[in-house]
Amino acid sequence: MKRKIAAIFAADIAGYSRLVAEDEEETLRRLASYREVIDDFIAKANGRIFNTAGDAVLAEFPSAVDAVRCAIDIQESLRTRNMAYPPSRQMSFRIGITIGDVVERDGDLLGDGVNIAARLEGLAEVGGICVSRAVHEQVANKLSVQFADIGAQEVKNIPTPVHAYMIAMRREDGTYATPQLKKVAKAQPAPNWMWPLVVGVVSVVAIGVCGFLYFTKLETTQLSSTAAAPSPSPAAALSPSPTPAMATKAPMPSPVPTSTPTQTAALTPPPAPTPSPPAASGGKIAVDAVPYIGERQRAYLSNEYSAAGDYKAYALNIAGFNGSALNQPNEEAARNAALDQCQKRADAAQSPRRCELYAVGNKVVYSHGSPPMPPQPWVRHDTMTERPFVSKDFPMLRDQARTRVENIYAPAAKSRSVALGPAGQYFMVLGAASVDETTRRSLESCGAIAGSACMIVAVDDNFVVPIPTLLKPNGFFHAPTNPSIVADARDEVVRKLGDGMGWNAVAVGTAGRPGLGLKAADEQTAVNGALADCVKHDSDCHVIAIGPFTVGPTN
């Protein structure tokens, strides 16, 4: 055995047991894939994995800088991979890092340094990193990262508090999320003069309880000797026998709805009858009208949520995160619990969108209504225009957004789609249950962000609308209101464009008289046809639209 100072890195999956319980094979398969990523980053940062157990990874690094830089790279890489899965199936790690004196034995490391790293990992946010003060001092002036001081933390099996810092993780838009402080309030010891009083009170209570039990037993014995035991009252017959599980406080709803609502039973005798809570107004929620959510959540609302008691609530946000609370003690508790669960899920995925209440009881309280949607069909497959998805050709996006689409959308699981807004807004839904679900959800979220109807541009591995390459797309083409076309010709353009199949192009001249190239087999043919048709009625013709897009010069 030998001693040494090392930077110790500890990582663990948040909610791993739940993920395994829901789908063991898929979870283990994805864990192996994520471990390849983690192992590769650790090796590149000159680290060494010295122990693993299930979903946990312990590694050592020659410096704190290497360890922190590696942890940030891992979290950012895994965050991108998680975008391919719905929130309930995302596999996120917590990471803790410290510098400590450790003992090496047969390649394994032991000692307080290892234990403290594991405790720091438990303090970290989901998808976040927590480091000790020693690590903070080593890296604060060497890496461009932001820290939040969460103070001294009392952690299990470590005799002295551990001063810890959270690392602010970068969001998708390049900004940094502020870590949530987790400072543990240390209980203040009772003053010395309180102890005699406490002992006296406890003694009096104990004497009273013993006396009560004695006389109760005596009375029961006397009754049993003079009469047969009565049959249970109806109330007692309907009450379940108390068990340890029933005696506990009802837990908050889990991220994945359970098959039956959580119930509790009191160990004390039933209280006097009280008025029932008012019946839920509005009947069942119109589940098909709830936006942004998948079919699994709709089934949950139709079944578990609808069948639950009145003190319940459901929250969501436009990015598709949601939260629910069932069988709460009152309406306020239901509201707060649903919002809290939804926001925690959104924050864990670093979503900038805030959660709002959708329903309280069975009454819809969401004030925004339905998002703007285009007419159906949302996707029309056309062999003449459909082609493989290539991120560099995605229209109307800035370079940063196009890179994000390339990194997240292209490798994601099916079913997936991207909806595009008229001013370049976009929204992706990845790993949905079906094409219908992914297109609906991406259009709903994109429409809510854009404030107007969006268009499905890509589904799975293909562009499903004509994507211009000869000219630069710069907006959506809407013939009935396009100002470049003379007003008395717009209705005719709409009629001739018809179903929009194949490649179509529109050109206009100085007088605004339109020329059309319709149902061509390729983009160039449509453009040539539109220009040729335009010069029959106008002069100085130029193309203003190709497919569903308005277009301009490429430079």
More confident of the two residues 215 and 473: 473
Determine the pLDDT at residue 501: 87
Domain shared by 542 and 403, yes or no: no
Residue 15 lies in a domain: yes
Determine the pLDDT at residue 170: 65
Query: Using CA atoms, how far apart are residues 83 and 90, in angstroms rounded to an integer?
Result: 8
Mean pLDDT value across residues 369-377: 92
**Residue 253: which pLDDT band, with cuts at 50, 70 and 90?**
very low
Determine the pLDDT at residue 177: 56
- Asked whether residue 54 carries a pLDDT value surpassing 90, the answer given is no
**pLDDT, tens digit, for every residue of 499-535?**
778 999 999 999 999 999 999 999 999 999 999 999 9
Determine the pLDDT at residue 33: 87
Mean pLDDT value across residues 418-427: 93
Residue 543 lies in a domain: yes
Omega into 415 within 30° of 0, i.e. cis? yes
Query: Using CA atoms, how far apart are residues 57 and 35, in angstroms rounded to an integer?
Result: 9
The domain boundary, picked from 167, 192, 220, lies at 167
For the chain, give me the number of helices (H) and strands (E)? 15, 22
Least confident of 51-55, 210-214, 229-233, 548-552: 229-233
- DSSP, residue by residue, 133-161: HHHHHHHTTTS---EEEEEEE--TT-SS-
**Residue 207: which pLDDT band, with cuts at 50, 70 and 90?**
low
Domain shared by 305 and 437, yes or no: no
**Residue 197: which pLDDT band, with cuts at 50, 70 and 90?**
low
Domain shared by 334 and 397, yes or no: no
Query: Using CA atoms, how far apart are residues 535 and 375, in angstroms rounded to an integer?
Result: 34
Tell me what percent of the chain is helix, strand and coil, each rounded to the nearest 5: 35, 20, 45
* Residues 422 and 446: beta-carbon distance below 8 Å: no
Three-state SS at 517 = strand
To which residue do tokens 């109307």 refer?
A: 396
Determine the pLDDT at residue 407: 87
C-alpha dist (Å) from residue 278 to 29, 264, 338, 553: 48, 20, 20, 64
Query: Using CA atoms, how far apart are residues 175 and 351, in angstroms rounded to an integer?
Result: 12
**Residue 419: which pLDDT band, with cuts at 50, 70 and 90?**
very high
Could you give the percent of the chain with pLDDT greater than 90? 50
Q: Specify the number of domains making up the chain.
A: 4
**Residue 193: which pLDDT band, with cuts at 50, 70 and 90?**
very low
* Nearest in space to 10 (alpha carbons), one of 47, 60, 54: 60
Domain shared by 359 and 440, yes or no: no
C-alpha dist (Å) from residue 1 to 57, 58, 111, 112, 453: 22, 19, 12, 15, 67
* Residues 541 and 528: beta-carbon distance below 8 Å: no
For 388, counting Cβ atoms within 10 Å of its Cβ (0-12 exposed, 13-18 middle, 19+ buried), the class is exposed
More confident of the two residues 247 and 87: 87
Could you give the percent of the chain with pLDDT greater than 70? 79
Element containing residue 407 per DSSP (H, E): helix 399-408
Domain shared by 43 and 130, yes or no: yes
For 192, counting Cβ atoms within 10 Å of its Cβ (0-12 exposed, 13-18 middle, 19+ buried), the class is exposed
* Residues 448 and 318: beta-carbon distance below 8 Å: yes
- DSSP, residue by residue, 205-260: HHHHHHHHHHHHHHHHHHHHHHSPPPPPPHHHHHSPPP-HHHHSPPPPPPSS--SS
Query: Using CA atoms, how far apart are residues 475 and 482, in angstroms rounded to an integer?
Result: 11
* Residues 450 and 425: beta-carbon distance below 8 Å: yes
**Residue 101: which pLDDT band, with cuts at 50, 70 and 90?**
confident
Determine the pLDDT at residue 203: 58
**Residue 183: which pLDDT band, with cuts at 50, 70 and 90?**
very low
User: What residues make up the domain containing 453?
Assistant: 387-463
Domain shared by 457 and 485, yes or no: no
Residue 159 lies in a domain: yes
Cβ count within 10 A of residue 175: 11
Domain shared by 307 and 403, yes or no: no
* Nearest in space to 427 (alpha carbons), one of 447, 406, 410, 442: 442
Domain shared by 319 and 411, yes or no: no
pLDDT averaged over every residue in the chain: 80
Domain shared by 36 and 152, yes or no: yes
Residue 249 lies in a domain: no
The domain boundary, picked from 420, 445, 463, lies at 463
Domain shared by 348 and 444, yes or no: no
Span between the terminal Cα atoms of the chain, in Å: 67
CB neighbours of 438 closer than 8 A, spacing ≥ 6?
A: 415, 416, 417, 429, 430, 432, 459
**pLDDT, tens digit, for every residue of 299-354?**
999 999 998 887 999 999 999 999 999 999 999 999 999 999 999 888 887 777 88
The pairing of strands 549-552 and 56-61 is unpaired
Three-state SS at 96 = strand
For 104, counting Cβ atoms within 10 Å of its Cβ (0-12 exposed, 13-18 middle, 19+ buried), the class is middle
Determine the pLDDT at residue 25: 83
The domain boundary, picked from 330, 349, 364, lies at 364
* Nearest in space to 352 (alpha carbons), one of 343, 364, 360, 361: 343
To which residue do tokens 């039973």 refer?
A: 265
Structure-token pair, residue 503: 């490649």
* Residues 103 and 110: beta-carbon distance below 8 Å: yes
More confident of the two residues 32 and 204: 32
Residue 400 lies in a domain: yes
- Asked whether residue 212 carries a pLDDT value surpassing 90, the answer given is no
Domain shared by 20 and 143, yes or no: yes
Determine the pLDDT at residue 264: 28
Domain shared by 23 and 152, yes or no: yes
Three-state SS at 551 = strand
**pLDDT, tens digit, for every residue of 271-286?**
333 333 333 344 688 9
Please report, for the domain that includes residue 137, its CATH number: 3.30.70.1230
Cβ count within 10 A of residue 500: 16
Determine the pLDDT at residue 259: 29
Determine the pLDDT at residue 208: 58
Query: Using CA atoms, how far apart are residues 166 and 544, in angstroms rounded to an integer?
Result: 52
Query: Using CA atoms, how far apart are residues 90 and 22, in angstroms rounded to an integer?
Result: 12
Strand partners, 356: 316
Determine the pLDDT at residue 317: 92
Q: Which of 245-259, 393-407, 532-546 has the highest mean pLDDT?
A: 532-546
pTM for this prediction? 0.52
Query: Using CA atoms, how far apart are residues 351 and 360, in angstroms rounded to an integer?
Result: 24
Mean pLDDT value across residues 219-247: 31
